[in-house]
Structure 1
Amino acid sequence: MTLLNDPRTRRRRLGVAATAAGLLAALLTAAPAAATPDPGDAPVGRTEVSKNDVNEARKAIENGEIPGVDEIVHSANIEHVANVPKDALPGTNSDLAFQGKYAFAGNYDGFRIFDISNPKKPRTVSQVLCPGSQNDISVDGDLLFLSTDSSRSDSSCNSTTQPATEKSSWEGMKVFDISDKRNPKYVAAVETACGSHTHTLVPERKDVYIYVSSYSPSASFPDCQPPHDGISVIKVPRKAPQKAAVVGFPVLFPGEGVDGGGNPGAPTNPGVSKTTGCHDITVLPSKDLAAGACMGDGILFSIKDPERPKVIERVQDNVNFAFWHSATFNQKADKVVFTDELGGGGAATCNAEIGPDRGANGIYDIVGKGDKLKLEFRSYYKIPRHQSDAENCVAHNGSLIPVKGKDIMVQAWYQGGVSVWDFTDSARPKEIAYFERGPLSLDGSLGGGSWSAYYYNGYIYSNDMAKGFDVLKIDDRRTDPAKRVRTDELNVQTQPDYFG
């Protein structure tokens, strides 16, 4: 392993190939569909890379500017304590959820349950084959929820892909009973408009509400019609999950005509995705507040009435944000971090040519009170280590590290690895730790790295799309207080009140 004081790590300031300018131009001028994040129906992994980019990466490895293929580098305050390769589910690894001594790992082919009672030796408890793009995952008590964002022949786990133009096609939410972790049981399915790219739990006393984020409607899709300017809300009775059903479709972007009232995208705002729904929503139940990352818009809304969320603030960044991807509140709920998924997760955007402000996080202060809250931009944060043009890299899923009085976050950056960074000073964020691998391969294609990196009960867990389940331990005085904080359950998009 290579540590922080190694010359290879210090020199990771890779210049870019001349072809990067062409990539940048393509990203800036792409039609809205080209900015769609994540792989949709297709697994990540086979985006073609030019020979020039591959040759530049080889030279950078030879010169010690970047790690070698699959070589691990990390800061001195991070320890890589475990890796569990993919097993029976060969698809792309996706999101993570946690409960007690278990971690739940989504995969495009289903999900896997790990026993993490000993984080240094995670043990597979069960693997469930249930193909469906994304398979975004969360848990609540004895229930597990799984998003399906690919058009399927039916709602079963034996379904096959089927065109969205066919009325009989299905996509939406699946519900499993996980009271027996060794033998999860599929108990319910709820079809939702345009499927479920991601979902967010809003737990209530007797019921669980699910906010379903989906997008990219088409007049040719019977179950995904434009303008699709809102979210589906599902109500799941905890004691009768088989009765789960859609109870509403609140419009978040009211407007006239088939385009609704969200960001119009190109040509009005070149390089920005047209808003036709949300990509991800994070709720802070203790404050009755939610933040939505909605393609061309970032929003705050009240969830005092979970069936009828009310938008109270909306912002755009038509200069540096291509696709509003996800959101994270700080503990005091006076800041929110929005991520921009420039290039859809399949492009090399962590280089000098694209720079520090695109494909980054946007940090906003939340000012005001009640329904008068406003979002005020403060700064961008992007990992300071340039990646090669053979590595897909952009801001992706992360979580708070619960340190009272500080705002510290751990975050996945695909092949940019895992970054731990401090945004206590909103205007001057800084990285304090990192872990990454060198390029996945130099065979002319890219697509891998950490999809989600979350802090849970003393450790960082990362679901690498290609390499499997990683466990990291950070040893740093700035994050050490978090080791004393424990939670029984963690769905990162349902943020806990750690100190309430």
Structure 2
Amino acid sequence: MAVSFRWLTPLLAALVLSSLTGCDDDDPVPPSPDAGAPDSGVPDSGVPDAGPPDSGPPDAGPPDSGPYVWDGTYTEMEDPGDWIDPGAPYAPCTFDTSNPDSGVCEQLSRFDVSRCDRDALAALPQEGIYQAAIRDVIPLGDGGVRIAGTTFGLKLQGGTPDTSTMFGNPLRYRDTEGGDFAVIGEIPRTSTTFTVVGCKTPAPNVILGCIATCRRGVVTRTGTFEAHRVAKQNEPEASGGLTLVGEGYTPVGTPVDVYVTKGHAYVVSTPMRDKDGGLSIFDVSNPRNPILRTKLSLPGDNFWNGVWAKGDALYIASEDRGTLVYDISKPAEPLFIRSLPTGNPGGAHTVLVDGDRLYSMDTNTATYVHDITDPLNPVLRTVIGTPPEKPDGAPHDSFVYQNRLYISNQFGGYVVADVTDLDNVSFLGLYDSGPGIYSHHSAVGTFGGKTIAFMGAEFNASHVRVLDVTDPTHIVKIGEFRLRQTTSMHNMLLRGNRLYVVWYHDGLRVLDVSNPTKPKQVAHHLTFREEDPDRGDLMFEGAIGLRIPGDGYIYVVDTSRGLLIFNEL
């Protein structure tokens, strides 16, 4: 992309290097822009003029009778992680690592492509945005193999000058015509070079090939990949009666989250290149014709990543100053009241309202809980840290259900805490999906007399895990729903027996989870288009934010297109 969020360079560098170089001294992976915390599953007790509640009934599961009742039985499943090893290299090409010298990764002659299909490569279009699953061979001398939790992004555009990119940075080299397919990209901050060579095209818009990675001229990884042109899928644009009825573009940064109340949609954005982030307010009294009424951006404080509301108060997660409180008694004319500081350094990444409590998640430290009996005058009640089993974790997002706080604790697992008494918060248990899994988001409800959590990770190959959390000391996996290994899911909302998921490049997905052991897709709508303004090659592109306020519509945020409004199923 031509995007440069403040988090972008360290995120990609840390993610790629931790996956491809194995170095322990790289920066930790910071959170991606996020579409806010999930809805809490309990009614929003805002004042009458606050619009419909933004969360479901106390029991977010399906009705107690009818044809879709699940009897609560299941078979416990193993958790292999996000990546599923295909068991063999993706492509019949190799990279020669013998006698390495300076610039070894840029020596294309080291790639053996004798068994590749030049005719198929010659027929590839000369443009497209690709994401890839990479199967690394670790050069340890013992033939170690792993599936890398990373990707490369490749944007190929013809013309002069060539604006092709990898990881959002201009390509250093490109030769993709006449049966050759070789591109070289770099992350300048870490002096890491990636050489990508195509070999096969087993299906339309799919490339198989080899990759070599060097850091400061030294080979760190070699392997094979499967790359998908993410905007060109072998499925229709929409299914299941999911229809786009309204759309509103915002020029404010990169839109990432939305909250709907008082007949208005409040969209927050993070900075993007030369555009500040901030707030865009759409009048959605007619959802089929959203009208941009207000744009707001503050110099030095506009990395706004999450948003929620209660009554006349709007809460915005600011990476600079914590949680910002605005008075929206005049819905299109927000008035700043105060900020609620969180950790030092850093601010709030996501926010969640549950009844008279405001939860602000600081991804560097802890969860800050405020009493919002008076919505415009929050009072700090407690700070919730991390369990002793995962002292290095920190909350990315949270979900409250039946007096339990479900914390997506980044690389520290999925944590359950009792928040009945804020003066005596206790950790009840955690689910550890394994090393390298980024616990990102969740939704919880009651099914078959059991408490069921739908846990989402992030980064490529992430997917929906279905967990029985009835006994937090013994959390087990009972189901899952996956899409392509080349894309990442993001946020989700549970409404009755429907789970709505925004899945970045793969758009909006609607799952029937009446039998949570076997989630089934019943509708989808693709939102990612290569031609949209500011569209790029990064993994955090496409459908990112989601709200279902109960007015008959689904409000989705796309990182380029802005506010998208669909009919509610």
TM range (shorter): 0.5 to 0.7
Work out whether 1:174 is the aligned partner of 2:338: no
Q: Which residue is 1:166 aligned to? A: none
Structure 1 stretch 289-298 or stretch 121-130: which is displaced more?
121-130
Structure 1 stretch 103-112 or stretch 441-450: which is displaced more?
441-450
Amino acid at match of 2:493: S
Q: Larger Cα Rg: Structure 1 or Structure 2?
A: 2
Work out whether 1:262 is the aligned partner of 2:390: yes
How far off its partner does 1:399 sit? 0.8
Aligned to 2:237, what secondary structure does the other structure show?
strand
Alpha-carbon spacing, 1:379–1:149, altered in 2? closer, same or farther (3 Å) = same
- 8 A contact 2:230–2:505 mirrored in 1: no
Work out whether 1:301 is the aligned partner of 2:417: yes
User: TM-score, length-normalised on structure 1?
Assistant: 0.64
Q: Which residue is 2:511 aligned to? A: 421
- 8 A contact 1:132–1:148 mirrored in 2: yes
| Greater share of helix | 1
Which among 413, 430, 434 is matched to residue 314 of structure 1? 430
Work out whether 1:191 is the aligned partner of 2:341: yes
How far off its partner does 1:236 sit? 4.0
The C-alpha deviation readout for 1:64-101, integer Å capped at 9, x for no partner, is 986459x98112522111211113x2x11111212242
Q: Which residue is 1:484 aligned to? A: none
Work out whether 1:116 is the aligned partner of 2:293: no
Q: Which residue is 1:214 aligned to? A: 362
- 8 A contact 2:258–2:557 mirrored in 1: yes
Amino acid at match of 1:107: S
Q: What pairs up with 1:82-161 in 2 under 5 angstroms?
A: 82-87=246-251, 89=252, 91-108=253-270, 109-130=277-298, 131-150=301-320
The CA RMSD measured in Å over matched residues stands at 3.7
Which among 353, 367, 375 is matched to residue 470 of structure 2? 367
Distance 1:24 1:182 in 2: 44
Distance 2:166 2:334 in 1: 32
- 8 A contact 2:359–2:369 mirrored in 1: yes
How far off its partner does 1:39 sit? 4.8
Alpha-carbon spacing, 1:316–1:462, altered in 2? closer, same or farther (3 Å) = same
How far off its partner does 1:381 sit? 1.6
Q: Which residue is 1:472 aligned to? A: 566
The C-alpha deviation readout for 1:433-486, integer Å capped at 9, x for no partner, is 111145536997335211113333222211111111101125xxxx4xxxxxxx
Alpha-carbon spacing, 1:119–1:46, altered in 2? closer, same or farther (3 Å) = farther
Q: Which residue is 1:399 aligned to? A: 493
Distance 1:331 1:116 in 2: 32
Amino acid at match of 1:212: S
- 8 A contact 2:369–2:380 mirrored in 1: yes
The C-alpha deviation readout for 1:379-436, integer Å capped at 9, x for no partner, is 22223x576xxxxx3111121233xxx3x11111112211111222232222111111
Distance 1:28 1:313 in 2: 33
Distance 2:451 2:290 in 1: 36
- 8 A contact 2:395–2:407 mirrored in 1: yes
- 8 A contact 1:401–1:409 mirrored in 2: yes
- 8 A contact 2:535–2:541 mirrored in 1: no
Alpha-carbon spacing, 1:84–1:307, altered in 2? closer, same or farther (3 Å) = farther
User: TM-score, length-normalised on structure 2?
Assistant: 0.57
How far off its partner does 1:144 sit? 0.4
- 8 A contact 1:454–1:461 mirrored in 2: yes
Alpha-carbon spacing, 1:312–1:210, altered in 2? closer, same or farther (3 Å) = same
- 8 A contact 2:363–2:395 mirrored in 1: yes
Alpha-carbon spacing, 1:305–1:136, altered in 2? closer, same or farther (3 Å) = same
Aligned to 1:416, what secondary structure does the other structure show?
coil
Q: Which residue is 1:497 aligned to? A: none
- 8 A contact 1:125–1:181 mirrored in 2: no
Distance 2:439 2:206 in 1: 36
Q: Which residue is 1:323 aligned to? A: 438
| Greater share of strand | 2
Q: Which 5+ residue runs of structure 2 have no aligned equivalent?
A: 1-14, 35-152, 154-164, 175-181, 184-195, 208-227, 271-276
Which among 364, 369, 375 is matched to residue 233 of structure 1? 369
Aligned to 2:266, what secondary structure does the other structure show?
strand
Amino acid at match of 2:390: G
Q: What pairs up with 1:235-250 in 2 under 5 angstroms?
A: 235-236=371-372, 238=374, 241=377, 244-250=378-384
Aligned to 1:456, what secondary structure does the other structure show?
coil
The C-alpha deviation readout for 1:224-276, integer Å capped at 9, x for no partner, is xxxx4x422233451762xx45333233323xxxxxx416xxxxxxxxxx51x
- 8 A contact 2:246–2:288 mirrored in 1: yes
Amino acid at match of 1:327: S
- 8 A contact 2:556–2:563 mirrored in 1: yes
Distance 2:452 2:17 in 1: 30
Amino acid at match of 2:354: V
- 8 A contact 2:510–2:521 mirrored in 1: yes
- 8 A contact 1:95–1:136 mirrored in 2: yes
Alpha-carbon spacing, 1:62–1:112, altered in 2? closer, same or farther (3 Å) = same
Q: Which residue is 2:406 aligned to? A: 291
Distance 1:400 1:127 in 2: 30
Alpha-carbon spacing, 1:82–1:336, altered in 2? closer, same or farther (3 Å) = same
Alpha-carbon spacing, 1:470–1:148, altered in 2? closer, same or farther (3 Å) = same
Distance 2:396 2:414 in 1: 10
Alpha-carbon spacing, 1:469–1:444, altered in 2? closer, same or farther (3 Å) = closer
Aligned to 2:441, what secondary structure does the other structure show?
strand
Alpha-carbon spacing, 1:48–1:248, altered in 2? closer, same or farther (3 Å) = same
Which among 162, 167, 181 is matched to residue 47 of structure 1? 167
Q: What pairs up with 1:483-494 in 2 under 5 angstroms?
A: none
Work out whether 1:445 is the aligned partner of 2:438: no
Which among 375, 381, 384 is matched to residue 481 of structure 2? 381
Distance 1:262 1:183 in 2: 43
Amino acid at match of 1:26: S
Aligned to 2:469, what secondary structure does the other structure show?
strand
Which among 434, 437, 455 is matched to residue 338 of structure 1? 455
Distance 2:302 2:16 in 1: 30
Q: Which residue is 1:81 aligned to? A: 245
Distance 1:439 1:198 in 2: 27
- 8 A contact 2:318–2:348 mirrored in 1: yes
Aligned length, in residue pairs: 363
Distance 1:118 1:318 in 2: 46
Distance 2:17 2:527 in 1: 24
Aligned to 1:78, what secondary structure does the other structure show?
coil
